Each structure stands twice: as C-alpha cells, then as structure tokens.
C-alpha cells in the first residue's frame, strides 16, 4: 500500500547468510520458511521506530538468512498508524512490505555469494504466484505504546537450480 507523505527509512544492523548444504543434489523444489518479528521501539510526534528480525530457512536445508534492523517511519501520525496496520490480504503490517523490499536486496546478494537459491522477491504478496495462504500474525503490547508483531509463513518457490560444489 502506498501512503503519500510517509517515509520509511530501513537500516540493517545485522545480516547473515549461512550455507547449510554445500553438496546439494542440484535442481529441486525449495520451500522457504519465514519468521518475522516487528517491535515498536520508539514513538514521537510524526515518527515511529520499529525494530525487525527476519529469518528465512529452506527445506531441504540449503541456506538460512537472518536480517535484523530498524525501520523509521516519518509523516503525519494518522498516516504512520496506517503503515502499522495489518494488510487484510497478507496478514502482515504494511511497514513490513517496505522492510522486506530492502532486506530482499541484501539477501539476494548473499545468495549469489553463497551460490544458493535466493529468497522469493514476492514473499507475502497475494497477487503473485507462490504466496503462502496460511500466514499468521500475532500482535501484543508489551508497554503502553509498544507493539510486537510476529508472523510465520511457508513459501514454496518453483524449481531452483543449485549447482554442486
């Protein structure tokens, strides 16, 4: 969702890609398991800082990616609150869609270095093929103004060619 006059600045503070199986058998179907955590860290007038953790693993066990950081959302308070709402189609907050676009680029680069399948670029977007239908999001408040969102999803990608090494 595009919300005018809202800026989302994503800063990655930790990035890891680990090749789990160096002698994979080659072309096969790869499933991506996804775990996401979003937590509101700070709120001021016209600004919210959201911490995020994103963990992707594959089945079969080929590679795992871990991305952590913050997203600073600035704009009018009403529009910021819209960005923090959960998209009814994907069951994930709109702000995470922006976070994933940024994190995807970093994970894609890591996947080329590790010679492993990249994560799907269209993760959690229902208008694309290969999107999970059973995404669950948990929201809880830890403090008066804090929000925590966790989502789990399983995404199946199409055939992926993983050369032997």
The CATH number given to whatever domain includes residue 89 is: 3.10.420
List of residues 6+ apart from 115 with CB closer than 8 A: 19, 162, 163, 165
Whether residue 41 has pLDDT greater than 90: yes
Q: How many domains does the chain have?
A: 1
Q: How many CB atoms lie within 10 A of CB 30?
A: 23
Residue recorded with tokens 């830890």: 142
Confidence band of 137 (pLDDT split at 50, 70, 90): very low
Mean pLDDT of 38-45: 95
Confidence band of 27 (pLDDT split at 50, 70, 90): low
What is the predicted pLDDT for the residue at 140?
A: 38
Q: Name the token pair of 90.
A: 């994907």
Domain span at 144:
7-160
Is 1 part of any domain?
Answer: no
Alpha-carbon distance of 88 to 58, in angstroms, equals: 26
Is 165 part of any domain?
Answer: no
Is 85 part of any domain?
Answer: yes
Alpha-carbon distance of 54 to 33, in angstroms, equals: 11
Is 12 part of any domain?
Answer: yes
In contact, 56 and 107? CB cutoff 8 Å: yes
What is the predicted pLDDT for the residue at 153?
A: 46
């Amino acid at each position: 969702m595009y919300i005018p006059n809202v800026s989302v600045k994503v800063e990655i503070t930790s990035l890891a890609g680990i090749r789990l199986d160096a002698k994979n058998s080659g072309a096969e179907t790869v499933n991506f398991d996804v775990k996401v955590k979003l937590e509101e860290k700070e709120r001021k007038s016209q600004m919210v800082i959201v911490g995020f953790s994103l963990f992707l693993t594959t089945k079969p066990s080929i590679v795992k990616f871990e991305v952590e950081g913050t997203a600073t959302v600035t704009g009018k308070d009403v529009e910021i609150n819209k960005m923090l709402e959960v998209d009814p189609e994907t069951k994930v907050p709109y702000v995470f869609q922006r976070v994933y676009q940024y994190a995807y680029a970093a994970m894609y680069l890591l996947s080329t270095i590790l010679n492993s399948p990249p994560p799907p670029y269209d993760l959690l977007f229902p208008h694309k093929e290969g999107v999970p239908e059973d995404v669950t999001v948990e929201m809880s408040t830890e403090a008066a103004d804090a929000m925590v969102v966790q989502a789990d999803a399983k995404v199946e990608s199409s055939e992926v060619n993983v050369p032997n090494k």
